[in-house]
Structure 1
Amino acid sequence: MNNNDIVPGFDDEKDESLKINLEGVDSCKTCLVFHLNGYIDTYNSNFFQKRVSKAIEAGYSRLIFQCSALNYVSSTGIGAFTAFLKALKPKGGDLVLLQIQPKVYEVFQLLGFSQFFSIKDTLDDAVAFFSEGGKQESTSIFPKIFKCPICSTKLKATKAGRFRCSECKTILAIDSGGQVFLG
């Protein structure tokens, strides 16, 4: 299935710096996965916003951005994600960033946006987030298993606080909501 089969007219415009492939989610009809490959900056963010807006106009209100092949996001790109969130919330929708690369996550964190976005490690976690209505579980999230944002070593936190990665020795902090930060 190609992108135009999922969202009519999606591939009418292309940009070599950012390739986007769409994937529907069978268990969640309003969910749509955007596989992002490349980068988002000042020059292509308008292209990116137009493509995602087409999907929102087509009725998708729960967007999952697969970011494992997204190499860079400028502040303009983060602004685009923020605009999507503002467009989706009134419709009862939301968005999830999936498998975000450490250097991209660091930009979100430095600009203070990491706490506004739901960031998940697997597609199943992202779909579960939507099936729970975007709410965090009321049960304790600790102990929490997660990957170090620098070296991807699997780590376990038993409570909120600061600690050092066992592999790369980076100082990490984890808040009571389970979000992991550098330093």
Structure 2
Amino acid sequence: MMHPKEALEVLACNRGEHVVITTMGTVALWPEFSDTARDFHYLPSSMGEAVPLALGLCLARPELKVAVLVGDGGLLMNLGCLVTAAQYSVPLRIILVDNGLYEVTGGQPVANARRTDFARIAQGAGIPRVYTCATLEQWQQSAPAALAGPGPVFIWWQVQGERGRTTPAPPRPMPEQIRRLRSLWSATV
């Protein structure tokens, strides 16, 4: 299994022009790899809300490519978002960071941890391209193709969990993050 930082480093090297939306545990890790207007840290009780936010951004600004990192617990809270996302041809990459834990709330196991086949769920929802990456090597090989071409795309990272982490604070207040993200809109119009 990969360490989340290893997976994020590969994402950073291959992201191109993608806006990267981080949630929960990845909020604390991503700034080590990137801190630009194309990085948005969504943390106001984001469990279950990240994919709809990213899809909304893709629908509002289809010229922006979006990669959203969502935890297994967060995705389980809103599995219907996969069916909703699948009905649109948008440049959306849904990256599931599956660590088997509700990491930032005490490290409790997620329901059916490590036994749920998220790839089959995404395929069944109608996501046309699905990648399963249980090792760093698999992710390194898949990343260029997964981040290129049409979307939506579902990428399932199986990563090591870490107990004892707490909910991170975003590196800047939400109004500043929104301002930075909006600056991309004027640059692309």
Superposed pair shares fold, TM > 0.5: no
Which of the pair has more CA radius of gyration?
1
Q: Give 1 or 2: higher helix fraction.
A: 2
If asked which structure has higher relative contact order (CA below 8 Å, sep 6+), I would say 2
Q: Shorter-chain TM-score: what band?
A: 0.3 to 0.5
- Normalising by structure 2, we get a TM-score of 0.36
